[in-house]
Structure formats: C-alpha cells, structure tokens
Structure 1
Amino acid sequence: MKKFVAGLVTTSLVVAGTVTGTPASAVIVDKPVSVGTGDLTLTAIGTHETGEFEKSSAEIVAYDAGSKRLLVVNALSGAVTILDISDPTSPTEVGTVHAGAGTTVNSVSVRSDGLAIATVEPATKTDPGEVILFDAAGDGTILQRLPVGAPPDMVTFDETGKYAVVANEGEPAEDYSVDPEGSVSVISVPAELASGALSTTATVATATFGESVPEGVRVFGPADKPGTVAQNLEPEYIATKDSKAYVTLQENNAIATIDIATATVENVAPLGTVNLRTVGMDVSDKDDKINIANWPVKAFLLPDSIGAYTAHGSTYLVTANEGDSRDWTGYSEEARVKELGEDSLPPLAEDFNFAGAVDSETGEAVTSAKQLHKKHNLGRLKITTSVGLNAEGTAFEELYTFGGRGFSIVDTAGNRVFNSDSQFEEILKDAVPEYFNSNHTETSFDGRSDDKGPEPEGLTLGTIGDKTYAFIGLERIGGIMVYDITNPAAAQFVTYFNNRDFNVDPQEGNNAAWQEAGDLGPEGLTFIPASTSPNGKNLLAVGNEVSGTTTLFEVTPKNDGTSVPGNVTTSSDDGRLKTLDIIFASLCSTFLAVLTALVGFAPQLAPLRDQLQKLLG
C-alpha cells in the first residue's frame, strides 16, 4: 500500500499568455529504506510529480520563505516550476516561468527578499547563455535578462545578497569543433525588489582563468585540439562564504577561489585522489556479489556540488565526489581496464605493481594483467586514459578511476581534513543488500559498481541547534546520506533515507507503474530551517531528475523526543526493536539521574556520568 499525495492547483500564473499548472499526484512509498543512529530522522511528508520519466523535469530546488514557494528547475522544458508549499504535505503547482523556446534552465536561486535568478542555456550549448531575474512571489514576469558565459550551469546568491555568482561550465561541442572557455560571472544585483520591480539594473563582471594552474589540476583533451587552460577548466558548482566564491572544477578535480567583489580568480587547488590500495571499493558489476575490496587504482574525487560552513573559526568546504569524465564523440578519456592492450590502447606496464589485489573468485593474489582483466576483478572498471602512462606513453604504470564515491571536507586551500572513503558503499551493503549499487532507471543488483557506484551528486548543509549536517543525494541508487559535520575532521554518519520502493522496477520508463517506485535520481537539495519553513519544522526539499518528483522531508533531531539512540534500525523492522530502544533509553535516563545524585558523594563517578550524558545527548 502506498500513500499518494495529491496537489490540486488552486491558483495559476499567466506567463507569456499561457496558463500553467496541472494537478499532480506522487508517491511516498510505504516502506522506505531508513537506517541510522537515531540522532536525526528524515520523514517524507509531501511530494509533487510531473509525470515525466528521465526528462530532467525536477532538478535544482530553491525556497522563498516570504511566499512559501519552492522553485524547481524543469531543465529540458526551459522553465522554472513554482510550487506552493504553505502546506508542505501537499505541494501545489501554481505557475511556471518560461525562459524561452529551445532553451534549457540549469539552476535557480532565491534571495531573502524573493528576488530569484535562473541560468538559461541556449539551444546551442557552446553559445553564450543568459540569466533571468524574476520575483519568486510574483506572476512569473521576467524582470531582466543578462548575458553570461557558455553554458551557465549553476547560480547562487552570496551571503550579502549583493551578488549572484554563475558557473559557466564551458563544455565543448560533441565533436570538439568548439570549446568555449570556462568562466565565473559575478552579477551585481539590485539592492531592492519592491512591488515586483527592480530598484536598479543588474550588471555583470566575469572572472576568467589564466594559463597557469598548479600541478595536479587535470588539464587534458584531444591531442589535435589541446585548447587553452581556460578552455579546459569547467566550473560546475558554487558555494559562497565571507566574500569568496568556491567553485568546483569537476572534470579538472579542483576547486577555484574567486574574490566576489573584484571578480578575480585567487587560487585553483587540486583535490588529489583516494588510494584504493587502502580504501575499499566495489569495482565489478559482473561478479554476482558485493565485494568492497582493495585494488591497484587511484580514484579522482571529481566533485559536483559544494557547500561551505564555519567550524572552530575557520571556513571548510564540503564536496560530493560524484565523478565525471570527458566522453564526447570528438574525444573520450574512458576505457575499461580489460581493454588495455587492445584497440590501440597501451597495455599495463611489465613492472605494474599488483600489490593488494586479490582475485574475487579464488582469493589468491593477483599477479598478472590477464588475471586483473577478469570481469570479476578489475576488468569492468571504467578508468581514464588521460593519465597514468609511462614517460614514453607506451604503457600504464598507474590506473585512475572516476569519483570518490563519497564526500570530503577540505579547508579553503584544498587540504583534505576528512574523507568518507568506502563508508557509503558499506552503509548501502547493509541497508539494501539485494539492490546494492542499483541504477536510477531500473532496479538492479550491483549494476553501477563498474561506473562510479552510487554517485553522490547533490549536497546541502543545514544547522540544527549547535550541530551542522551535510545532506548528500545519491544520484544512482537514490536516497539521502546525512552526516554530522560539526567537527570537520571527524564527520559522523547519522542516517540514510531513500523514498524508493525497489520492488517496483521502473524498467527505464517502460513499466506503466514506474511512478510507484518513488523518488529516482536526486539532483538538487535545499535545507529549509524551522525558523523560515512553512510548518515550523526543519525541512529538506529534493528534486529528482529521473522520476520528475520534488519531495519534502521533515528533519527531526532526537532532542525533539521522536527518536532514540543506540541502534541502527530499518523501516522493515517490527516494533520490537523500537520498543527495546525506548526501554533502553528510559533505563539509561534513570541511571543517569542516579549517577548525577551520587557524584556529590562519590566524585570518582563523574567521568562515568559525563560519558553517559554524552551518549544520551
């Protein structure tokens, strides 16, 4: 039995002479995947759907507190859908802002006074793009258009609201006939939005990259069209903090620091790799098992989303290490390990170091390329051919794959202070063993292990009380990972929640009942604090690009009295475990009270009391 949430359109916006908005019904699954420590829980309370499968009809989300509206990017329709979430259990479509025929909208952001900005990619993505300004609380009228770079992939307002910052990715044409420069546009926006009108006209400045980057920043491409450094760099996502913009350069495995006021690039920092000789990863989709093991490979982090926060007086950056490759008709860096030595690809070097690799069938040490190439070993893993060759370019001395399959916390210089390593795959192994590394378009087992695994893509940060949390969307298998990142060097897993019914196979949209699968392909996330949310509760809004759903979750810390410490639980557990948890918590609380009373007579009991108090929060 599934809960269908219906949203009835009560108001329609008239945009460019058309009335938009249709009724919608979407699924909150009856038995979502839910595992965690009990310190914080997610509960799906409302959802809206477009009825479009894998059409990118619900991607990036942004919340306007003043109007209690949620703006949702409908990318391929070239539009921003406006949802009324004054009742978050029943999101209601009330209008659409159309960017223009043949366009793609990639991102949207909202200032505290309701001024909204969205990026617009033209039909030819290598042409310069635009941003549009509009009133989130208004009738969808576009107030101003401004030219930016190609293509504009993400936009966000800075903390002051004086500026909007745009990542112009600079992706090449499919055949590499055109390769625009990657850049960052800084828009000086009007100070006020009054009665749906701008007080002044916005202006644009552009931060461009020079021809020098530090060692470790990936600059590569087709040999006959190497391009400039600026053409190689591809800005993806932006976080702002204290007058700086921190921009992920995904394919380049780096973060750029931009001074916002002057629109200048101050630094580009490489992000390094994860060594799979010491960090486990499941690398095969053809071994019929979960095998998180060590291999002679390094993984580029290649982050997509980024967030910024302050801890211990310093700024830290949080990255979702999705992984991405250049895979175009005119040039592709991708290959599978088993293909090395074939089709003009160089082989493994004769002295390649196989140390740490163990055959997943026999349990014996791997000592040859032939053995490593087996499909149940490393043969199926996708790697890059752009790096790892010897000086002559005739053999691979090292292997590099795409994506860290987790998240990292770095300082503003790019120094890593935390990495989740194999934690995501370990958690998924226990949470959904029958659907481990499933894809978003179909229900499968182990289907993505050869290719970036769960693909953490979207990310948002939220503060509840004195704790800061990272909410990370897993694009492929779906669901949200939540970590307590209050201490940057010691981030802790809190919960994983997935509003997906794996018993329903979407079959790439061919199953007429695919919508009953729930949320597929989380793309954009935004945290809505209780102080500004429509129901006075902390909320998380998530846009899902494959299922076309936008879902709202209540985020409840245990100090609200709705969860208890001590165990990892799943939604399929019966009531006995929860009852035992409650009894255990009650006994601990009673014992804590007794200890507190005894400390006055026996001070040596104070450490025990303090430890128990910390456990109970």
Structure 2
Amino acid sequence: MTFQKNALAMTIAMSLTIGLTACNSDNDNDSSNAEAQNFNRIATFPVCLQLDDNCHVDDETAAEIVAASVDGNTLIYSNSPNESLGFVDISDPSSPMPIAELALGGEPTSVTVLNDYALVAINTSEDYVNVSGALIVVDIATRSEVARMDLGGQPDSIAASPSGDYVAVVIENERDEDFEPTDGAPVQLPAGGFIIIDTALSDPADWTRRNVDMTGLATLFPSDPEPEYVDINDDDMAVITLQENNHIVVVDLASGEVMNHFSAGTVDLVNIDTEEEDAALISLTSSASDVPREPDGVTWISNDHFVTADEGDLYGGSRGFTIFDKDGTVVYSSGNTLDHLAVKLGHYPDARSGNKGNEPENAEYAMFGDDEYLFVNSERSSLIFVYDVENPEMPELKQILPTAAGPEGVLAIPSRDLLIAASEVDERGDKLRSALNIYQLSEQAASYPTLQSADVDGLPIAWSALSGLAAHPTDANILYTVNDSYYQQNRIFTIDVSQTPATITASMKITDSDNVLASIAATAVDAALDDDDAARIETFDSADLAALINSDKTINIDPEGIAVASDGGFWVASEGAGTIGDEDRPLNSLNFIFKVSPTGAIQDVVTLGAELNAMQVRFGLEGITEHNGKLYAAVQRAWGDNDHPVIFIYDIESKESSHVFYPLDDAESQNGGWVGLSDITAMGDDQFLVLERDNQGGPDAAIKRIYSIDLSDVEAGDTINKTLEVDLMDTLAATGAMTFEKIEGLAVTASGEMYILNDNDGVKDNSGETQLLKVSTAN
C-alpha cells in the first residue's frame, strides 16, 4: 500500500532511507561519492554503560582520549571524572560492549598503547602549584597495573613512537584560570616541561626517563611554558604544542635535543560571527585580525609536515587548522572554512561566537589503503571534518561527520577501517551522555549530513534549531520549516529534498512590515480576555508585545509549527512564554497563530481565546495544519485542571474556535519525565497524523511515535481516540546516534513521502545534529 495524503494507510512499515552523498571540497553535490568509500557512523557507545546496563545513573562520566589495542578489538579511554581507565570490546564494531573500568587513583589526562600495554598519564596534583603526576603501565589483557613511574608534574598528552623505542609525555603544569598575577602576565609557576621515556626494553620496570627543558623558547611567557599536546613521526621526531604560549617545538627523541621551535603565528579572519546575542543571531559579517593560533591537538601527516588544531585560548579563537612543515613554514591555513561549514550544517555554536567559534580541538592522520586522511575534531560544533591531505598545500574536504557532544580525542584504526571519536560532555539532565563514536569506512554513500544549506553571495544560509515541518501542497520536492525562539529575527526556510543532501535553498524573515502584529495583537489579546481572566494573566502588557517586534520590523516569537495556507503564504504557530501563577516563569507572551504572506509579512493574528489563555502553561502551541477551511493546532501538554492537552480548532472564515482533548501516552522512560505533542499534519477526509514524544534523549528516550486520529465525528470538548502508526525508536537508532530528544517536525509530501525532523536546540547543550529523515511507508 502506498501512503497517500488523501487516504491514511492503516498500517505503515518503516524503513530508513539513507543514501546521502558527502560534501566535496567545493560543497557541491557529487554523485560519484555514491560509489566512493565513505565513513559512516555505525554505533555510539555511551560510557555510562560501564556503570549500569541501561545507563540508569546520574554519575558524570567522560570519554576524553581514546586508544586501541594493537589488534584494534579493544578501545581504551581516559575517564577523568571517574579517575579511571575504560575498556570497550569492539570485536563487532557495530555492537560495542562494555568490559570494565580500572580505578587509577588520579585524574587520567591521556592514554596511548605500546605493544600489550596501555600507558596512562595521571594528574595527582594537590593544586596548581604543588604539582605531581605519574605514568601508569596497564596490561591490556588483564586490565591490571604492572608499573608506575613518577613524572614530577601534572601531565597532559602522551604519545608512543611508531618505533616503540620512546614514549613522550608533556608536563603542562597548567595555570589556575582564576589566578591573577600582580604584573598582569598570566604566568604561574612551576613551569611545564617535556619528558622522554626510553621504552626499547621489554620490561616496563627497566624504562628510564629524560627531561627536556621548555623554558626560554616561546616569545610569550617564556618562563612558563605549558605544553599541551604531542605527536611522534616515523623519524622519532616529536612535535609539541605550547598552546598558551602560541608556540611549537620539535624535539629529536633519540638525542633529546630541541631541533626547532617557532611561533604558531596568527591568522586574519573575515566573514565570521564574533557577537553573542540573546536571543541568538548568526551573522557572518565580522572580522578579526592577527588572532594567535594557540594550537591544541597536533598530528604528523608525514615526516615533514604536521597539522595543528587551532583551538585558541587567551586571545580568542582562530577557528581552524594549519598545516606546517617541520621548519615552521605555513603551507595551508583553513581560515574561516570550519566556521562556515558548521553554519552550513546547522552546527554553528552561536553562543561561542565571542570566544572560539566552532573551536577545533584535536587532529588525527592515517592512511586507509592509498588514501591519506586528516580528521579534525570541532569541540563546540560536535563535528569531525575529514580531509584528503595527499597534497598538504591543498587539502580536499571529503566528509563531515556528526558526533555526540564535545569530541575531544580522535583515533584512526586503518587495519579495521574504523575511526573512533571520544565525546566527553556528560549531563543527563541536558540529555547528553559522554560516548565513543564509531565510524566505518566502506563503499556506501555518506549518511550525513541529511540537511545542509546553500550558499548565497558566497556565504552559507544560517540555520539551526528547526522545529515544525510542512510540505508544499503540489511540489513533492519542497518542504518548509521554521526556527524556534533560540534565534531572533525568526525565519521560514525552504528545503529542496530532490537534492542530496536535502538543501535549504531560501531563508525568509517573518516581519511585521505592515504593523499588523503591533496593532492587531493588542486588540486580539484584549478581546480574548474578560476581566477575571485579565486579572489572572497579570503580566502580558504592551512592553511584552513590543519585545516581539524589532526596529527593522523582524519579529522575535517562538515558531514551533508551520503549515502552508490554502490561499497562499503560511500559518505559523508561536508557543507562548510563561506559566500563569508561576513567579519563576512570568507570562511574557501568549500563544499566537500568525498568517504570513508569501513574502513573510504578517497578515493576521489569532489567539487561543479566553478559556485557554487564562490557564496558559509554558508548554504551548507546537504543530499546526490547515484542512477544509480550518486550522488544527496541537498544544504540547495539558493546561490547568485538564487531564489532556488540546488540539485547538479554528474556523478561518467565521473565526470561531473550539478544541478537543488528545490523550497522551504515559511516560515510559526510566528517567521519568513527561510526554507531549510535537506536530500535526492533515491527511485529508478529517484524518490527521500526530507526532508524540517524551522529553528524554539517549538511553533514557522511550517515546517517539506517530499516531493517526480521525476528527470526522467528534464534538468540541471530546477526548479523541488515536491509533499507533509508527514507533520511531528503531528508525532513529538506525542513524547510529543516541536517540534525539526533540523529534519535532512531521510532514507528508504531495506524493505521499513522510519526513521527520529533530530540533537541535541551536547547539546549546546539544550536539547540534539535525536529522531530516525520509521514511518509506510501503507495506
């Protein structure tokens, strides 16, 4: 049975259509990628599985740096909050299994593997002045400590040489971020340093260490070097970044001599966003000159060239990566590229605009067959940028991969065609769990992104925090969506799903250019309230109304639902702000339905009426749809003393309204929470599809469902019946990600194709991943 919009199929078999090509270096579609090899995420392992079989724990965990056993079957990661070393079985990489965690008695800062041993650097410092640390040698097979070496300071990165003869450890002795020296220079001793451990002898008890002095090298704060990261090439040459000193040092491990050192230099950036507005606004109109690179992670890509991930620190963020030759010459600098790509994919963290933008954190190089790959982690955008670096002067973008929030460590395992990223952010309350992301290289099309934006005048269309979804009534290739209140100057976006990935081709601001909101909304509010209701509502006034309208006539509402209007333009459902009677959440806006012209101008304003307005709860309007001369708008949760939320029904011609009650599923999550409505779409003949979800994500998610409802024979005030059509949990799991909390968009095209969409919360306490999923609905 084919799912047609004019007749609701009673059963729907789900299958996820992936088949999406990667971005090439010119960000154009490349059909050849369908036959090329691509990395795709095949699993996400939440670290909390080490503590509980269902991750039903609030304990903070963190996978920060990850290594692998020589055979590539066991992952070993550092878990700083738990002061432990974790082990994960990836003999079947699509189904990673927890093994155990080993207590270390100190904070692990990094881990690497040498033969049968995992080598862990731990910080045991009392404070920032009384520093200490150790190298712990762990037998991987038995997961037991076999040796320990004092390091004399607080370590950070650690690396083993390809030859097996050396291990390098950077001693950062980081400064207290709150330390304020009297002379104004951010210097806090003791100084950091560099340690070479001679590991040619098979017994770790016989290993010895040598110290390399790092003071006096950098121009910035030469007395207080803070080495950050180290990598070693096939010539046993170590490259070390001194992030806060904006300096790079190359050391010959055999002799222990500093062979070269130089400033990491600065970059000039144009067309970036350096302002953090509230509500957010992505505006690629700023510039920054002479920004120090302040590199964090570093990786050799040959014996003559290395790459730095230029995170930035004291002096802002340089927002990219740089390829140097070993003599210090810059052969390539990415400039604003990573920020623009993050914007293009909806991953740009606007809340970090005044700091470091996408914030590149780490880099990894590996050869997979004959292909030379560079992987650059973006910590704040939760992306991995994948480049071909066969020509160091002209790296070619191959793919962009999504991760769980805050990727720190990155590891390539070419022998198994695997890539691993360790995401450290863990906050159960924000629906974030620290995780190991597992990708596999294969001859399959790239599955991410599923949505990106086109460029206009050389810059990507900025988008994120998408909520409702609507289909063009006749063109099966066009969808529409809106961004929610995370952003100001709200917009309607046009999506072309005939392209792969689906592409946002236009962005239209919603405006009050004709002063309709300014004049009609106040009248509509007055008309919607009687005297008693007005006393209860208390706080919504002209100042609140004025705050919805900017000086340029753009508006700041909370668009959660969108529908195409039968007479042209759109209907936009705006969720109200505030709960009546809750002093902590004062009423700042009612729930509004806006009629918007094809050019974005507000033409009319509708409220929910006195009865509903007088009991407003902050969980308000979500989805909206038009059918047979009426609007049907879903309120997310129950208001007042009602047992169920309502579906608000508004007759467009008579302007009369009513509502019916929708019975939500009971919460099923192990973490409790609530269940609410997200979207509604008309299917014809008074049949509708409704999207219902809980407010849980990751291992706690339980309810992401599509129900059908029949409103052909109901009266105002009835509690309606519903029929389960689709349980989306398996569909979402097929992306390889942890389950997204906010599945908020649902649309069915003119040809009967169903799409769902998640809201990424503007990359605030979120990985930023947006999945626009096309769902096959054939029996």
Q: TM-score with structure 1 length normalisation?
A: 0.62
Aligned to 2:66: 61
251, 268, 271: which is aligned to 1:280? 271
Q: CA deviation at 1:522?
A: 0.4
Paired with 2:166 and 2:309, the residues of 1 have a C-alpha distance of 25
User: Does the 8 A contact of 1:407 with 1:456 survive in 2?
Assistant: yes
Matched residue of 1:36: which SS? coil
| Cα-to-partner distance string for 1:328-381 (whole Å, 9 max, x where unaligned) | xxxxxxxxxxxxxxxxxxxxxxxxxxxxxxxxxxxxxxxxxxxxxxxxxxxxxx
Q: CA deviation at 1:206?
A: 0.7
Is there any run of 5+ residues in structure 2 with no aligned partner, and where? 1-15, 25-32, 49-56, 182-187, 426-432, 453-478, 480-494, 503-779
1:70 aligns with 2:75: yes
Q: CA deviation at 1:79?
A: 1.1
Aligned to 2:45: 48
Paired with 2:95 and 2:398, the residues of 1 have a C-alpha distance of 27
Matched residue of 1:191: which SS? coil
Q: Where do 1:98-497 residues align within 5 Å?
A: 98-100=103-105, 103-111=106-114, 113-126=115-128, 127-137=131-141, 139-173=142-176, 174-175=178-179, 179-192=189-202, 198=203, 200-213=205-218, 217-219=219-221, 229-230=222-223, 232-241=224-233, 242-276=235-269, 279-286=270-277, 288-295=280-287, 297-310=289-302, 315-325=304-314, 384=315, 402-432=316-346, 436-438=347-349, 446-497=350-401
Paired with 1:55 and 1:71, the residues of 2 have a C-alpha distance of 18
| Cα-to-partner distance string for 1:184-224 (whole Å, 9 max, x where unaligned) | 111112533xxxxx3752111111124354xxx322xxxxx
Q: CA deviation at 1:172?
A: 2.6
Aligned to 1:527: 412
Is there any run of 5+ residues in structure 1 with no aligned partner, and where? 1-28, 193-197, 220-228, 326-383, 385-401, 439-445, 500-518, 581-617
Q: CA deviation at 1:297?
A: 2.9
Paired with 1:59 and 1:30, the residues of 2 have a C-alpha distance of 33
Matched residue of 1:107: which SS? strand
Q: CA deviation at 1:247?
A: 0.2
Q: CA deviation at 1:294?
A: 4.6
User: Does the 8 A contact of 2:20 with 2:501 survive in 1?
Assistant: no
539, 550, 554: which is aligned to 2:436? 550
Q: CA deviation at 1:32?
A: 13
Return the letter of the residue paired with 1:450: G
Return the letter of the residue paired with 2:348: N
- The percentage of aligned residue pairs carrying the same residue is 28
The 3 A distance-change label for structure 1 pair 36 and 261 is same
68, 71, 87: which is aligned to 2:92? 87
The 3 A distance-change label for structure 1 pair 577 and 161 is same
Return the letter of the residue paired with 1:36: C
Paired with 2:98 and 2:449, the residues of 1 have a C-alpha distance of 37
**Larger Rg belongs to:** 2
Q: CA deviation at 1:450?
A: 1.1
The 3 A distance-change label for structure 1 pair 176 and 54 is farther
The 3 A distance-change label for structure 1 pair 235 and 210 is closer
The 3 A distance-change label for structure 1 pair 212 and 93 is closer
Matched residue of 2:393: which SS? helix
The 3 A distance-change label for structure 1 pair 110 and 218 is same
User: Does the 8 A contact of 2:172 with 2:228 survive in 1?
Assistant: yes
User: Does the 8 A contact of 1:292 with 1:425 survive in 2?
Assistant: no
Return the letter of the residue paired with 1:289: L
The 3 A distance-change label for structure 1 pair 179 and 31 is farther
| Cα-to-partner distance string for 1:109-154 (whole Å, 9 max, x where unaligned) | 002x2222000101425412110011222x2211111111421001
Q: CA deviation at 1:34?
A: 8.2
Q: CA deviation at 1:575?
A: 7.8
User: Does the 8 A contact of 1:34 with 1:570 survive in 2?
Assistant: no
User: Does the 8 A contact of 1:34 with 1:497 survive in 2?
Assistant: no
Q: CA deviation at 1:289?
A: 3.3
Paired with 1:109 and 1:425, the residues of 2 have a C-alpha distance of 30
Matched residue of 1:426: which SS? helix
Q: Which has the higher contact order (CA 8 A, sep 6+)?
A: 1
Q: CA deviation at 1:545?
A: 0.5
13, 23, 31: which is aligned to 1:36? 23
The 3 A distance-change label for structure 1 pair 318 and 181 is same
User: Does the 8 A contact of 1:305 with 1:458 survive in 2?
Assistant: yes
Paired with 1:152 and 1:33, the residues of 2 have a C-alpha distance of 42
541, 555, 559: which is aligned to 2:420? 541
Paired with 2:58 and 2:297, the residues of 1 have a C-alpha distance of 23
Paired with 1:110 and 1:200, the residues of 2 have a C-alpha distance of 17
Paired with 2:60 and 2:157, the residues of 1 have a C-alpha distance of 19
The 3 A distance-change label for structure 1 pair 67 and 473 is closer
User: Does the 8 A contact of 1:40 with 1:494 survive in 2?
Assistant: no
- Choose between structure 1 and 2: higher strand proportion: 2
Return the letter of the residue paired with 2:434: G
Equivalenced residue count is 410
1:563 aligns with 2:445: yes
Q: CA deviation at 1:455?
A: 0.6
Q: CA deviation at 1:248?
A: 0.5
The 3 A distance-change label for structure 1 pair 218 and 199 is closer
The 3 A distance-change label for structure 1 pair 579 and 541 is closer
The 3 A distance-change label for structure 1 pair 67 and 318 is closer
Matched residue of 1:297: which SS? strand
Paired with 1:289 and 1:210, the residues of 2 have a C-alpha distance of 43
Q: CA deviation at 1:54?
A: 9.7
Q: CA deviation at 1:285?
A: 1.7
